[in-house]
Amino acid sequence: MKILLIEDDMDLGNGVRIALRDQGMQVVWVRSLEDAARSIEHDSCELVLLDLGLPDGDGLDLLARLRAARLPVLILSARDTLEQRLRGLDGGADDYLVKPFVLAELLSRVRALARRSYGFDGDTIELRGLLLQVPTRRVSVHGRPVELTASEYALLKTLLMRANRVITRRVLEEHILPGGLANASNTLDVHMGNLRRKIGEGYIRTVRGVGYVIDQQGESSTQSGAGA
């Protein structure tokens, strides 16, 4: 899992980053609202840890943008009154952890938020009968094993980890496929077509002119364009 950490305190930020990395998570650490906005657009993170007291503004001002991107958000803040916590949760955050906190509790809340948001428990991702086992890279559909190429597996994992969030063609071509954009052309379409054929229709939906999405509740792949 790739986590966006928005925290300006150097000591706390470094401690959180190390703790997350020790759990096998990737961390993008930024220290301002400006850098956070840039990271939301370019780093394809799956979950956000958000400090509120940032040098260039209030982290609450970023919540609407994070929710529009359908990113799960855990607020980390010294603002500990009930009114302040409710403001964060009502503003769109999924959880709120008051500073100072114990790293073990933070890690537990991150795992719980990942499970609620993506059906991801660190070893498996499950969605409507589609099961992806991360350690073994095995995939099955309603118990039926599915053989995927490395590229197909990477695409499927990316879409599952960001269920309900549209992933643009550019992100998939640049960051997921071998060779990046230089080797894109219709390669993504070919891989998506093969992936759909193997796992079955009803999972991957094309958003015409934008990219692809896997809906947690399930929608027809023809709703916004049926092609791969």
> What does the pLDDT read at residue 135?
84
Cβ atoms within 10 A of the Cβ of 102, count? Answer: 9
pTM: 0.64
d(CA 197, CA 209): 21
Question: What token pair was written down for 92?
Answer: 């769109």
Under 8 Å between Cβ of 164 and 216: yes
Decide: 87 and 43 in contact? Cβ < 8 Å. no
Q: How confident is the model at residue 222 (pLDDT cuts 50, 70, 90)?
A: very low
* Residue 182 φ then ψ, to 5°: -65, -20
For 120-150, how does the pLDDT look when each residue is reduced to its tens digit (9 = 90+)? 666 788 889 999 998 899 999 999 999 999 9
pLDDT in tens, 23-52: 888 899 999 999 999 998 888 788 999 999
Q: What is the pLDDT of residues 164-200, one digit of tens each?
A: 888 888 878 876 776 654 455 688 999 999 999 999 9
- Residue 118's pLDDT is 65
pLDDT of residue 227: 40
Give which of 226, 185, 192 is closest to 206, Cα–Cα: 226
Q: How far is Cα 47 from Cα 68, in angstroms, rounded to an integer? A: 13
Name the pLDDT band for 220 (thresholds 50, 70, 90). very low
41-82 residue pLDDT tens: 888 788 999 999 999 999 999 998 888 887 899 999 999 999
Sketch out the chain's domains with CATH numbers.
2-118 (3.40.50.2300), 124-214 (1.10.10.10)
